[in-house]
Chains A and B, each alone.
Chain A
Amino acid sequence: MSVELTGAEITIRCLQEEGVQCIFGYPGGAVLFIYDELFKQDKVRHILVRHEQAALHAADGYARSSNKVGVALVTSGPGLTNAVTGIATAYMDSIPLVIISGQVPTNAIGLDAFQEVDTVGITRPCVKHNFLVKDIKDLAETIKKAFYIASTGRPGPVLVDIPKDITQQKTQFIYPDKVVMRSYNPVVKGHARQIKKAAELILSAKRPMIYAGGGVILSDAAGQLTELTQMLGFPCTTTLMGLGGYPATDRQSLGMLGMHGTYEANMAMQYCDVLVAVGARFDDRVIGNPKHFYNENRKIIHIDIDPSSISKRVKVDVPIVGDVLDVLEDLIKVLKTEKEKIDQNALKEWWNQIELWRERDCLKFDRDSKIIKPQMVIERLFHITKGDAFITSDVGQHQMWAAQFYKFDKPRRWINSGGLGTMGFGMPAAMGVQLANPKGKVACITGEASIQMCIQELSTCKQYKLPLKIVNLNNRYMGMVRQWQEFFHGNRYAESYMDALPDFVKLAESYGHVGLKIEKPEDVDDALKEAFKLKDRLVFMDFVTDQTENVFPMVPGGKGLSEMILV
């Protein structure tokens, strides 16, 4: 008979068993027993954030950059509601997280107790699954299930709500080696016949195109995607979530596609005859208007782990449900045995066409400007970090420029809120990235609007000595809102001007960091170099950039991929 442990002890023991090294959280009444147990051990490190939203983003950045499950711990009521934005962010981008939330004691549930909310109800639509633990005997198995569900299949956040009395009660601690759930059996291997069909279709292509999304990153299949693309000699585009899945500096990369994708990627997407979609979901920001997409005939192969992503917005010809990594490995094997060969003449002609599109130089901008161009800052950041930094971003114009101008050659280096588009994501996510990669160079590309949504985390960065480099592209506007107002709302800039901005240099300094203000293009390089030289300091670089700059190309909402506004 082993010793009985309290629910709080069991919770921490489960995290230890899962090999969790770092969690992000904020204490409060309902989780005090859990915090007490955290205090008594040193295997699991706790990072105290300044707002629960940041705990979730940090756990998220930790997970995205390391392929581990991110863990957050929040209290009941407002602790949980503050965390919801972060949970929804992770859900939209399929990021594996386990969230442990405190709940009022079992006998108080439903009585409008202090700091009570229906956590399971509030989070239901934005988690992969959630649990309310009603019996201490279920606690360990529930946490095991949470880690299992979060990290398998299409990953996602899983929440475990633990009432305070459960954390006090005692039971024997048995951590199961594995869990079997009759209602949850994610597919891994793709169907052999479908893979064979896909191989035949690929070899028959005259104008092929590979379109890779976040699934490639999530399943760690960048190597396989690269092998496949180079073996076939096909062009490859990645979505915002797929950046780094194929080396962006390679000639076969057409860059990002979609609303702010490159001219060549969008045109090739529209006019290809065989499209291989890998871990991508044809969302509205990627293919624009599906009706316009149908104007051209093409055969589509779609590899995805989530059957509900297949034929959701666009009907496909060869669906393959399975883990991208497994399916690509099988597909490569099958392709190597096929006798049929690719029509090299047709492929060459297709590349000639693509090169003509590429010559359009859709990402050009004024390099002689006397005002700092935001694109230039990112281009310089890319050069100075030799393309080897972890880049997080917030949401807006700076995010698109980061995606366009920082050439990601490796996966898990580009960390952004693609699906939900959460402003305030960048800095807390960067904290998680830095903690998962203590030696890595981590930069957060942001804007003066986004950064203020979680600015309080400068304090967390100080406490844990996180030497982030914050690249603030300060154009005094919510730039993307301003751009839409310019294009679609008759230049009426309703509430998009950022008035009464703080002095970011002084602000950074007041938190104990280094602040730099850069106003001239010729000072950009020096500032970036200086920032990275200060290896153990957070440096907040406030770049005063061109207010009128817009993101191009742009596929306006409701338009087709080939209907881009070009610079």
Chain B
Amino acid sequence: MENEAGALSRVAGLFSARGYNIESLSVAPTEDPTLSRMTLVTIGSDEVVEQVTKQLNKLIEVVKVIDLNDGNHIERELMLVKVRAIDSDREEIMRLTEIFRGLIIDVTDKSYTIELTGTSEKLDAFLDAIKRSAVLETVRTGASGIGRGEWILKV
């Protein structure tokens, strides 16, 4: 979509006005600074998703809409998670972080802050793997998606 003030609120407003779900939404300018790219995750029947796509296309500032599920695609989400890490937990959490290919990016004597990237399911799995009670804070970006292979979104 056009990288203009207000474009995001049109999308968000459309979803609330028409009663569609936003599971997650991630947006940032692209290599062309006049354009922003948004990955929006929604849940609905085929009919609802078709309507969502059509309604998004109707927004004047939306340049192009694709449903990534129409082809093979890759999704990644970034999570930062702060966990309580004391005594023997420190070892265990470090090991789990390695297994999930995360990075510990900040350390105190009582906590770790871990950076983890992957599909949303993988991030959920990580949170399930460490003790829930140890999780002090999480922040997630929502999924970003891109088509596999040479399939590209061109405007």
Contacts and interface: CB of A to CB of B under 8 A. Distances in A.
B2 A183 contact: yes
B51 A184 contact: no
Interface string B31-70: 0000000000000000100110011011011110000000
Contact of A183 (B6, B9, B17, B60): B60
Contacts of B9: 121, 124
A310 B10 CA distance: 22
A125 B17 contact: yes
Nearest to A182: B63
B153 interface: no
B155 interface: yes
A129 B155 contact: no
Interface string B1-38: 11000100110010001000000000000000000000
A520 interface: no
Nearest to A321: B54
B60 A128 contact: yes
B18 to A, nearest CB: 10
Contacts of A132: 6
Q: Which of B1, B6, B57 has the most CB of A within 10 A?
A: B6
Given A124-B13, A311-B47, A183 B1 contact: yes
Contacts of A128: 60
A100 B2 CA distance: 23
Contacts of B61: 183
A171 B55 CA distance: 37
Contact of A308 (B1, B55, B60, B62): B55
B58 A306 contact: yes
A183 B54 CA distance: 14
A551 to B, nearest CB: 31
A311 B60 CA distance: 21
A312 interface: yes
Contacts of A315: 47
A111 interface: no
Nearest to B14: A125
A181 interface: yes
Nearest to B64: A183
A183 B36 CA distance: 12
Contact of A307 (B17, B57, B60, B63): B57
Nearest to A124: B13
Nearest to B17: A125
A182 B51 contact: no
A109 to B, nearest CB: 12
B15 to A, nearest CB: 12
Most B C-beta atoms less than 10 A away, residue of A121, A149, A182, A315: A182
A182 B57 contact: no
Given A183-B2, A311-B50, A124 B57 contact: no
B55 A183 contact: no
Interface in A295-317: 306-308, 310-312, 315
Contact of A182 (B6, B58, B155): B155
A95 to B, nearest CB: 17
A183 B10 contact: no
A32 interface: no
Contacts of A308: 51, 54-55, 57-58
A126 to B, nearest CB: 10
A311 B45 CA distance: 13
B6 A120 contact: yes
Contact of A125 (B13, B58, B63): B13
Contacts of A181: 60
Contacts of A311: 47, 50
Interface in A110-129: 120-121, 124-125, 128-129
B2 to A, nearest CB: 6
Interface string A351-387: 0000000000000000000000000000000000000
Nearest to B155: A182
Contact of B51 (A129, A149, A183, A312): A312
A286 B57 CA distance: 26
Nearest to B52: A308
A23 to B, nearest CB: 23
Contacts of A124: 6, 9-10, 13
5 contacts: A120-B6, A121-B9, A183-B62, A183-B63, A307-B54
Interface of A: 120-121, 124-125, 128-129, 132, 149, 181-184, 306-308, 310-312, 315
Given A124-B10, A306-B58, 9 more contacts: A124-B9, A125-B17, A129-B60, A183-B1, A183-B63, A307-B54, A308-B51, A308-B55, A308-B57
Nearest 8 pairs of A and B residues by beta carbon? A308-B54, A183-B63, A129-B60, A307-B54, A125-B17, A184-B60, A308-B55, A124-B13
